[in-house]
Amino acid sequence: MSHLDGEISATGFEPERRDTVVVTGLASDAHTWNLVFLQLLIEELGYHVVNLGPCVPDEVLVAECRSVDPVMVVIGSVNGHGFQDGKRVIEKLRACSGLAGTPTVIGGKLGTGGEHDGERLDALLEAGFDAVFDDGDDSVGRLRNFMAAIPARTASELSETGTPR
């Protein structure tokens, strides 16, 4: 779905789905364009996005995720240190009881060598990521398919104010 497919409200186009997704870079990664692209893509899929930006310390990511209670966390990497930083941060996210089951994915350049490394992808999955989208063919399509499989939260799962979590 694109924004043009959404229903028109008094404030403009409103996508049907408004669950919250956290998009973030890793502590060592100062790139922003990938995070902006991810935000726009995910918003087009109908989600509300909280974009934490680049160079996010692990502790800040965990605290923000605990505060926002997202339906999904999307981590983007461009600097090639996604494997090392990703393994460290997923352990911290999975150690939080409220985030242990939150779908969390990582993608982009996960190594500095530039080549596809199946062992690294497997290690990230084993560490706790639900999906890994390396900088390869059709990673955007695979992310869209993954997100389409996430069930929408019901009204009883929304916060007490009725806003999406």
User: How would you write the pLDDT of the chain (165 residues) with one tens digit per residue?
Assistant: 344 444 444 444 455 668 999 999 999 999 999 999 999 999 999 999 999 999 999 999 999 999 999 999 999 999 888 899 999 999 999 999 999 999 999 999 888 876 778 889 999 999 999 999 988 778 899 999 999 888 776 555 544 434 444
The DSSP code sequence of 14-41 is E-S---EEEEE--TT----HHHHHHHHH
Contact in structure between 56 and 86 (CB atoms under 8 Å):
no
Alpha-carbon distances of 124 from 33, 87, 95, 127, rounded to whole Å? 23, 6, 15, 5
Determine how β-strand 131-134 pairs with β-strand 104-108.
parallel
Q: Which residue has the tokens 């869209």?
A: 144
pTM, entire model: 0.82
Burial of 82 (0-12, 13-18, 19+ CB in 10 A): buried
Alpha-carbon distances of 10 from 4, 13, 82, rounded to whole Å? 15, 8, 41
**How far is the C-alpha of 12 from the C-alpha of 37, rounded, in Å?**
22
